[in-house]
Amino acid sequence: MLSEAHVAIQPVGRRVTVPLGENVFSAVRSAGVASEAFCGGRGICGKCRVVVREGSQFLSDLADSERKFLSQSEIRNGYRLACQMIVRSPGNLTLEIPRESQVRRQRLSVLGIERSTRPAPSITKHVLHIPPPTLQDITADLERLLNTLKSEHQLGGVLINYVSLKRLPAILRSKNWTVTAVLRNSREIVDTQPGDTSDRCFGFAVDIGTTKLAGYLVDLKNGSVASTASMMNPQIPYGEDVITRISCTMKDAGKLSELQMAVLGGVNKLLSDACKIARVEPRDVYDVVAVGNTAMHHIFFGIRPDYVALSPYPPALQSSLSVPAKDVGLDVNQGAYVYSYPTIAGFVGADAVADIMATGMFEAKETTLLIDIGTNTEIVLGDSRSMISCSAASGPAFEGAHIRDGMRASAGAIERVWIDPQSFEPSYRVIDDGKPEGICGSGIVDAIAEMFKVGLVDNTGRMQPNNTRRFRRDEGLPVYVLANAEESASGKEVIITQRDVNEIQLAKSAIYSGTSILMKRFGVERERIARVFLAGAFGTYVDPESARMIGMLPDVPTDRFEFAGNTAGSGARMALISTDIREMAEGVVEKTKYLELAGLSDFQEEFMKALYFPHQETERFPTVEKLLNSRHEKQTP
């Protein structure tokens, strides 16, 4: 007997299973396409509209909350709220996510996939009914509280923090000796409150990206997300990439503190915004988890990141960190702590550990490859027994930097490109559907993959102008015009230069050669890689077929690629929800080996060979070869 339904989610083509009795909200969310402005599945924001294309007979009837948000015609056309419809019987469902429910394409993707986690938070609240003192029983206030904690909740050996101790006498007496004790790890009282406040217990997870900050207010009672907030990292004015920011902190003694204050200001703003949305007081936030790459992590905690940028690149610490939130400077409960995952190495930081936790690859029997593409690309390969990792210096090309008409993935960026193999005329898709202003990372990968496919670029990366009106020469070098002046938003054409192609060659070669060395060291052939997780903003939007075409990703079947979304955020939430996850992360770091590519004798050779499209050793990319050959055959009958 089946006890779950199979759900196909369109337009992303993702397939998930949903247990009977559960709603499809998390399934939709895990596909990375639901709106980021949601109410946490409580049916009160109406943002998670989906269209049931097939299998409505397996679902619960329309709920009142759904009638409130949906028009008669929407109901007729199969519209429902994902969080309100419950799977009643096993069967096959097809759901379509309409455009308005998709993540807004500003690409601050806030949600990532997330291993399901049983709530076991470090913070718990305990309501105590304490007998008041008498002349016959003059036990002190604290001991009186501790005795009740033991007798009513079986919690012994508990300590109290200094702030709570100072307030204790007044708090005990303000609601007639009924108090709520807030415990951390069942060992330390971090706050006490008059009366019963057990319904208010929150935590905050924050992903400190080099480019963006994403925060999640989580109800620690059940692990649900109460609200989310995101913003650009306020450190951007100090440098777009981590190395520039590290250099900045080295300028003078005050700069580190200045950068720390910038990011703290941002995180406090997110906290305050998320609390306002969910109507939560910041003092009811008792736990914080922060995740970021090693430089972001160090600066957030006020630790000098200098040496992370200098060979041999040691971080200040590898272990996980738990420090008082007030010492860091966060506007939450005075007794709260900030936790950070352990790191694997200077350039494979706590964010990569969060990726590993969120994808669940540390528990997988089959070999999994995780690639979190950024200026530094973290690559992890392995299974439940052991893992190996490295950092590839892929540079900022995928974020639009060092590309003639490159830009960030925001409105006006060309994000998809197709080139007609006969006419060599391009067609493209622009973020938010306006006129193009430039091209973002996924667009440039598409464009070069297409140019290579149709023969406008050869396997060494040299442009082959090939007599089309789309080509011209600029300072002696060929240029491919993707959008001419009339088509563009600015009146200036959007072009791909020979130098752009070379930039992408360097970037993709860094990623592939890193991956390839991990595979060699781990002793695994590409056929045995069961899944490839693409994490991070770029990883969510790149076309894996294009990436494989240029030889950036190894040649595995398309259906093994999986968009992981913002797994750093998911991993942070998991650590917030469960201390078991924190413990597991320690084990993960222990069984994950780090390879410093700069220290390897075979790296240089691997890198040189991987500069070719897709690779100098073409047998490594049979799928690409087959595709090129079939095209070649068509062209020369």
User: Residues in the site for a second copy, rule: CB under 8 A?
Assistant: 133-144, 162, 165-166, 168-170, 173, 301-304, 306-307, 311-319, 321, 323-324, 327-328, 343, 345-346, 594, 596, 598-599
Q: Give the side-chain half-sphere CA count within 13 A for 401.
A: 10
Task: In angstroms, give the least distance from the CB of 142 to a second copy.
Answer: 4
Of residues 20 and 261, the one with the C-beta less far from a second copy: 261
SS3 state of residue 545: helix
Which residues is 285 bridged to in the sheet? 202
Task: In angstroms, give the least distance from the CB of 596 to a second copy.
Answer: 6
Of residues 12 and 140, the one with the C-beta less far from a second copy: 140
Task: In angstroms, give the least distance from the CB of 343 to a second copy.
Answer: 7
Of residues 95 and 308, the one with the C-beta less far from a second copy: 308
Of residues 103 and 145, the one with the C-beta less far from a second copy: 145
Residue 318's contacts (CB-CB under 8 Å, 6 or more residues apart) are 342, 343, 344, 345, 589
Task: In angstroms, give the least distance from the CB of 539 to a second copy.
Answer: 26
Task: In angstroms, give the least distance from the CB of 598 to a second copy.
Answer: 7
Task: In angstroms, give the least distance from the CB of 174 to a second copy.
Answer: 12
Q: What are the backbone dihedrals phi and psi of residue 231, each rounded to the nearest 5 degrees, phi first? A: -160, 165
Task: In angstroms, give the least distance from the CB of 43 to a second copy.
Answer: 42
Q: How far is CA 311 from CA 24, 307, 308, 332, 599, in A?
A: 49, 7, 8, 37, 10
Of residues 40 and 305, the one with the C-beta less far from a second copy: 305
Task: In angstroms, give the least distance from the CB of 243 to a second copy.
Answer: 17
Of residues 211 and 249, the one with the C-beta less far from a second copy: 249
Which CB contacts under 8 angstroms, 24+ apart, belong to 195-200? 196/127, 197/125, 197/284, 198/125, 198/126, 198/127, 200/280, 200/281, 200/284
Task: In angstroms, give the least distance from the CB of 139 to a second copy.
Answer: 7
SS3 state of residue 133: coil
Task: In angstroms, give the least distance from the CB of 106 to a second copy.
Answer: 35
Report the alpha-carbon distance of residue 347 to residue 390 in Å, rounded.
8
Of residues 346 and 441, the one with the C-beta less far from a second copy: 346
Of residues 308 and 417, the one with the C-beta less far from a second copy: 308
User: How far is CA 32 from its chain centroid?
Assistant: 10
SS3 state of residue 178: strand
CB 356 within 8 A of CB 306: no
Of residues 261 and 316, the one with the C-beta less far from a second copy: 316
Of residues 137 and 619, the one with the C-beta less far from a second copy: 137
Tokens of 46: 């109406």
Of residues 105 and 184, the one with the C-beta less far from a second copy: 184
Q: How far is CA 281 from CA 224, 270, 271, 285, 392, in A?
A: 17, 13, 10, 7, 42
Task: In angstroms, give the least distance from the CB of 167 to a second copy.
Answer: 8
CB 584 within 8 A of CB 357: yes
Tokens of 15: 């397939």
SS3 state of residue 245: helix
CB 343 within 8 A of CB 589: yes
Task: In angstroms, give the least distance from the CB of 147 to a second copy.
Answer: 11
Task: In angstroms, give the least distance from the CB of 389 to a second copy.
Answer: 13
Which residues is 228 bridged to in the sheet? 216
Place of tokens 């001419």: 484
Report the alpha-carbon distance of residue 249 to residue 615 in Å, rounded.
39
Q: How far is CA 404 from CA 259, 391, 497, 498, in A?
A: 30, 26, 7, 10
CB 101 within 8 A of CB 47: yes
Residue 148's contacts (CB-CB under 8 Å, 6 or more residues apart) are 128, 129, 130, 131
Of residues 6 and 255, the one with the C-beta less far from a second copy: 255
Of residues 227 and 391, the one with the C-beta less far from a second copy: 391
Largest distance between two CA atoms of the chain: 106
Q: Tell me the residue type at 510.
A: A
Closest CA to 266 of 217, 229, 320: 229
Tokens of 178: 């009924």
